[in-house]
Chains A and B, each alone.
Chain A
Amino acid sequence: MISLNQMKKILVIDDDQFFSKTLEAALPAGKYSLLSAEDGEVGLQKLISEKPDLVILDLMMPKLDGTAFLKKLQESKDLPKVPVLVSSNLSSVKKISDVMAMGAVGYVIKSDESLQSIVQDIERVLGENLEKK
């Protein structure tokens, strides 16, 4: 039987350290452990080494940006298949549809949503995944 108390690993790939810190504080205690990466490259490394349950991905980052990261994930066969929730301040409809077409499970506009609602989105995605498993 799957233990519902198992801590979920969330990998936050964002160059804004404030975001990952505040997100961590907002998540219900004990349920999640948060890892952070400041760009896509480090993100890929941590994806392989830590095998998180969810990736929260920013789009505007130096070196490997969010879109390129998603592409790599989509095209590779070896990388672990982890759901990716994109959280960005970019709000163009085109961007959103492009990103969703690349396999993201959701798109959150950071500055429009409160920490609460972001947390709800996270729980929803992880909950769905749980059901799939």
Chain B
Amino acid sequence: MNTALFSSAMIFNFLIPIFLLLVILVFYFYYSLKKREKETTKEREESTRRLYELTILKELGERVGYSLNVEEILQIITGSLKQFIDYTAVGYIVINPEKIKINTHIEKSVSRSFLSEMKDRMIASLSALTDKSFDSSAIDEVVSGAIVVDEIKQNIGSLFNIPLVIGGAVAGVLTVAHIDVGLYKEEDMTILYKITGRASEAVSRLEEVVEMEKGKLNAMVLSMEDGVLMVDTEYRVVVANPAIKKIIKFNLLADGKDVNFFDFVNALGGKFDIHGKLEEVIKKKNPYYSERINIDDSFFEIGVCSVSHSMLKGGDQILGAVVVFHDITKDIELERVREEFTSMIVHELRSPLDGIKKIIELMISGSILANSDKFKEYLNMAHQSSASMLELINDILDFSKLQAGKFEVNKEKVDIKEIVENKISFYKISADAKNLSLQSFFSNNSPQFSEFDPQAVKQILNNFISNAIKFTSRGGSVLLSVFTYKPGEPLPTDLARDKFIVFPETADIKINVPALCVAVSDTGIGISKTNLENLFHTYKQVRLNSSDDQNKGTGLGLVIAKGIVEAHGGKIGVVSKEGIGSSFFFTIPL
């Protein structure tokens, strides 16, 4: 019997520790399971948090990327908050340019005192962050969500504020409040800090980009030659570039006030109704282009068009309007010059042609007997008229070729002496008729042969010599001098210039390579300073000071001469003294 007892005691002794061990094991597993559960929950919470963070950031990224609106950003954040944080109320306070705004969303009903305390704490937070004080009565308040029930006596238990910083400045504060105490842990606050941090980064970067683009646009508009003015819908000046300030002759006043719309209205006065046109364009959305408008000495074409941008929600928002002043003064001048040229040609051709027509009319009418002296005289007149018309047409042709750069210079090896002497004998008759002496002189250093287009040079000599004869009174003299010009050296000493006070000097001959130089000097009436300036450039008639019988002329001859000389790579020039004489000269590089 003792053995049995002993055996059962022994079994017990084994069983109890085993049993105890089991219990311990069970507890241990239970405990670790619980622990793991806790960890899993924690992980789940963590991943929820992460997910929330990612979702918010993604949404933020999409929406903030296009918006600089602080309110919008705060709304996005607060809107998604309840998926993650438990709160009684959430709100934000935002600094708008005009006012401070508080927007609060109540999740569960609260009393007015709850809201007012929340508001005070939001303002306090903002004041502390911005170092400014705010008048709580001057703040716009919006409340949404559950109704306000004053009977609910619960006040704020937990609250935390998170600032939204953009570009280094506090733009607003996000606030979360709950009636329960001690609810908000560090993790909750951390994630919100992260979110608002990211948002502010994104917005700051966007603002930088906008500033840069603005800067580019400004630089472009600033450098434009056309005057640009942009106003907003309230007619405040948004952009006014230096060009347009110059047009209205605006000077920055001592007090540094920049230009305003009335400066434009006043400056443009009766010439252009800028206010009226802007109104029209903004209303009708059709751009307006003016005819030429004269302001002081300049002419402008003015364009006005509205500026709008299409909104995401659809439709257009008018931002204002732009006025552009395009300077067309040069174009008008060109037009005028062309018109003058055309009317000059028409007149110069019409008269001789009419003369021919009338002469023929006479001959047809039979009032002149054939082969009579009168008849021959009229035939000569008709011949002369037609010849001068052809000459003019040839001149015009040469002129337009020179203008277009298509004038052909056919250089040949020619003896200038031959050409000069040929011309002298040709013009001897005209010179004799006015009792003028017409001579040539060749310096010892004048070249024997030089290269140039003989026809073209003959044309120049024709023009110079005929002018000299035309503008020299009876008994005067004309001299053709030929020599080699070497830059840096004085003119040859053997030039027979005794009678000719007016003669080119080295300073007048503006060529820097050795060249053949031909000068036609006269003791004529000379040319006034003002006329001298225009000589080779325009084709206006040079008005004469004293009597002359052949003062018609297009003046094209000199312009063409210049073109020919320059086509040879040479220079043309003139020196003259009124009442004493002139000397026209040209050089051709050797």
Contacts and interface: CB of A to CB of B under 8 A. Distances in A.
Given A18-B381, A26-B362, A62-B543, A111 B353 contact: yes
A5 to B, nearest CB: 20
Interface size class of A (residues with CB under 8 A): 10 to 19
A42 B117 CA distance: 108
A16 B356 CA distance: 12
A16 B355 contact: yes
B367 A62 contact: no
- Which label, helix, strand, loop or mixed, suits the secondary structure of the A interface? helix
The B interface is mostly helix, strand or loop, or mixed, namely helix
Contacts of A25: 362, 367-368, 374, 378
A89 B544 CA distance: 22
A124 interface: no
A110 interface: yes
A122 to B, nearest CB: 14
- The bracket for how many chain B residues form the interface is 20 to 34
A60 B377 CA distance: 25
A26 B350 CA distance: 20
Contact of A22 (B347, B350, B359, B548): B359
B391 interface: no
Contacts of A53: none
Q: Which of A60, A111, A114 has the most CB of B within 10 A?
A: A111
A115 interface: yes
B549 interface: yes
Interface string A70-113: 00000000000000000001000000000000000000001100
Interface in B363-416: 365, 367-368, 374, 377-378, 381, 385
Given A62-B551, A89-B350, A116-B361, A22 B544 contact: no
Contacts of A16: 351, 355
Contacts of A116: 361, 365
A22 B362 contact: yes
B354 interface: yes
B544 A19 contact: no
Nearest to A39: B547
A58 B85 CA distance: 103
B359 A60 contact: no
Interface string A110-132: 11001110000000000000000
Contacts of A22: 355, 358-359, 361-362, 378
B552 interface: yes
Contacts of B354: 19, 89, 110-111
Given A25-B368, A62-B544, A115 B351 contact: no
A21 interface: yes
A115 B358 contact: yes
A76 B402 CA distance: 49
Contacts of A19: 354-355, 358
A18 B385 contact: yes
Contacts of B368: 25
Contacts of A15: 551-552
B370 to A, nearest CB: 14
Nearest to A28: B367
A118 B358 CA distance: 11
B367 A26 contact: yes
Contacts of B347: 60, 89
Contacts of B353: 111
24 contacts: A16-B355, A18-B352, A18-B381, A19-B354, A19-B355, A21-B377, A21-B378, A21-B381, A22-B358, A22-B359, A25-B362, A25-B368, A25-B378, A26-B365, A26-B367, A62-B544, A62-B551, A63-B544, A63-B547, A89-B347, A110-B351, A110-B354, A115-B362, A116-B361
Given A19-B354, A22-B361, A62-B544, 9 more contacts: A19-B358, A21-B381, A25-B368, A63-B547, A89-B350, A110-B354, A114-B361, A115-B362, A115-B365
